[in-house]
Structure 1
């Protein structure tokens, strides 16, 4: 486990998620660790080591979870819009 200035990894991850509103995936990429590790640190470990910080992170994780179907739908919409634009450009 990495230790940043004497702080636990879960706390460092929590601060990053709170400051940026990052998803579990984005935090995992930023710190170079797996999504499973980020989730376990934020959802389980932090709950026991720093309950106050856990409650703040939980709000963001719950919001991200509630919005994920919208993000997925928007990504799909953009994908097919780009395909349609490419198809129209080929026909010209």
Structure 2
């Protein structure tokens, strides 16, 4: 069982880097919760593969910095269709 969790953490990390994915996007793709993705890439991956962890952290930091922009765009799209 433990090997599966470790493999998932590495796969999630690789997916996030390859696709510049958000935590929500990765969770949807892998069929797990956002909390699981976050725990896998922030805690488990740090112990399993520190280099991959640093790369994933960089992508997630960029996503975090841009999330207010994505949220504004989503709101704009939502209300544009209603007009």
SS of residue matched to 1:80 = helix
Displacement of 1:65 in angstroms is: 0.6
Q: How many residues align?
A: 81
TM-score w.r.t. length of structure 2: 0.90
Q: Which residue is equivalent to 1:21?
A: 20
- Show the counterpart of 1:42: 41
From the CA coordinates, give the structure whose radius of gyration is larger: 1
More contact order relative to length (CA 8 Å, sep ≥ 6): 2
Please give the residue correspondences for 1:1-92 in structure 2 after superposition, counting only pairs within 5 Å: 3=4, 8-84=7-83
Secondary structure in 2 matching 1:22? coil
Structure ranking higher in helix proportion = 2
Aligned-pair Cα RMSD in Å: 1.4
TM-score by length of 1: 0.82
Alignment gaps of 5+ in structure 1: 85-92
CA distance in 2, matches of 1:80, 1:13: 33
Secondary structure, in 3 states, of the residue corresponding to 2:32? coil
